[in-house]
Amino acid sequence: MRTRIRHFRRLRRLTQAELARRVGTTAATVSRLETSDMTVSTDWLEKFAAALGVAVTDLLGNPRSAHIPCIGQIGRNGLFDTELAEGDETLMLDAPARNPIALRFRANVGTYCAGDVVIADRLAPEDAARALGRDCIVEVDGEASGFGRFISSVDGNYLLVPPDPGAQARPLPAPDWIAPVVMLIRYL
């Protein structure tokens, strides 16, 4: 059974050895439990949940989706209606990405506002063509090195155009990975 032990360990910036000490086991056991090479019992889940400060159910849930109750819909003239079509009682937020990553804006940048969160789908360099013409997060030489519209130049190399009005396109060496934006979350 796949768990989210690794996800929460990384969120808390713990090594496998540090988590192992908290749980009372070895780093090798943590590794096997994270990769599903070992059966995860209820006892293990409870120990990891306590060590990571999460509920046991958080360790079992899908990391890419959330279920939110939907209480109605808004129609013309802003009228609220509690009648929902069958199956619309719950809104499921699911990041449409195989390898989702997130980025939060700390300032207004182009059409993005401070506080906006974008979810992007991290792609391998050989899949870069799938990201052309889209806003992307790009990593070069092991560092997230930019955000902007990913385009190709006339010589076949890539350019990154920042979202700020009038910003100059930056030439890019071959990216380590590229992540086109697939979802925008805007807090009001």
All structural domains of the chain? 5-60 (1.10.260.40), 65-94 (no CATH), 100-185 (2.10.109.10)
Residue 91 CA, chain-centre distance (Å), reads: 19
Cα separation, 70 vs 100, in Å, equals 24
Cα–Cα separations (whole angstroms), residue 65 to 91, 92, 132, 186: 10, 7, 26, 17
Q: Cα separation of 28 and 22, whole Å?
A: 14
pLDDT value of position 133: 93
Residues 27-81: tens digit of each pLDDT? 999 988 888 766 788 888 899 989 988 878 778 866 555 566 676 777 777 777 7
Look up the pTM and report it.
Answer: 0.58
* Confidence (pLDDT) at 166: 87
Q: Helix or strand or coil: residue 49?
A: helix
Residue range 76-96: mean pLDDT, rounded: 69
For position 63, what pLDDT does the model report?
A: 54
Question: Can you give the pLDDT at residue 60?
Answer: 80
Q: What is the pLDDT of residues 7-21, one digit of tens each?
A: 888 877 889 999 999
User: Which pLDDT belongs to residue 181?
Assistant: 93
Q: What is the pLDDT of residues 106-162, one digit of tens each?
A: 889 899 998 888 988 889 888 888 899 999 988 887 665 789 999 986 677 888 899
92 band by pLDDT with thresholds 50, 70 and 90: low
Residue 93, pLDDT score: 65
Residue 3 scores a pLDDT above 90: no
Question: What pLDDT does residue 24 have?
Answer: 94
